[in-house]
């Protein structure tokens, strides 16, 4: 004699595994982007002054420490190295210096020798969009 088994009917539901994968990928993407943008900002004490505008998209962020060292993306450089980076940025923008914006972040305790040499070098390359970063007073 054959006993009949009850058939269990499974309700079809939505598989959320692909959605979880996408959420994790987005999370990793935003963490990576945040870390890269923080790398460009060296810990320097900026002078306090009410800025004229919020930061816009920039091509290059150059940090000048208190002792006059130039730091770009966590790497210490000389003025000639920064000139080389600006030259590469000019090439990617079709050689138009109007499309390259450089933000110079100078420690308020630094002397003006290094920033002057840096700005002179940028001007000799035709870069006219040079912005000096300040800290907004509280």
The residues spanned by each domain of the chain are 39-132
Q: What is the pLDDT of residue 4?
A: 66
Task: Give the pLDDT confidence score for residue 25 in this predicted structure.
Answer: 93
Tell me the C-alpha distance between 104 and 118, whole Å.
9
Distance CA 133, CA 106 (A): 7
Q: Looking at residue 2, what is its pLDDT?
A: 62
The pLDDT assigned to 24 comes to: 93
pLDDT bin (cut points 50, 70, 90) of residue 131 is confident
- Which CATH number describes the domain made up of 39-132? 3.30.420.270
No. of H helices and E strands in the chain?
A: 3, 5
Model pLDDT for residues 12-70, shown as the tens digit of each residue: 777 888 899 999 999 998 888 776 655 566 666 666 656 555 555 566 788 888 888 88
Tokens of 56: 């816009």
Listed residue (75, 64, 67, 74) closest to 122, CA to CA:
64
Better-predicted residue by pLDDT, 83 or 2: 83
pLDDT of residue 20: 92
* Short-list 66, 62, 86, CA closest to 75: 62
């Amino acid at each position: 004699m054959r006993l009949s088994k009850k058939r269990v009917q499974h309700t079809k539901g939505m598989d959320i595994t692909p959605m979880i994968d996408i959420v994790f990928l987005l999370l990793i993407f935003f963490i990576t982007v945040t870390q890269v943008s923080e790398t460009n900002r060296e810990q320097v004490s900026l002078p306090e002054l009410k800025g004229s505008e919020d930061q816009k998209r920039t091509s290059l962020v150059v940090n000048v420490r208190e002792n006059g060292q130039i730091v770009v993306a966590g790497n210490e450089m000389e003025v000639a190295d920064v000139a080389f980076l600006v030259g590469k940025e000019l090439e990617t923008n079709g050689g138009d210096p109007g499309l390259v914006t450089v933000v110079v972040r100078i420690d308020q305790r630094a002397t003006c020798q290094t920033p002057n040499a840096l700005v002179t070098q940028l001007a000799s390359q035709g870069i006219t969009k040079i912005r000096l970063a300040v800290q907004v007073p509280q």
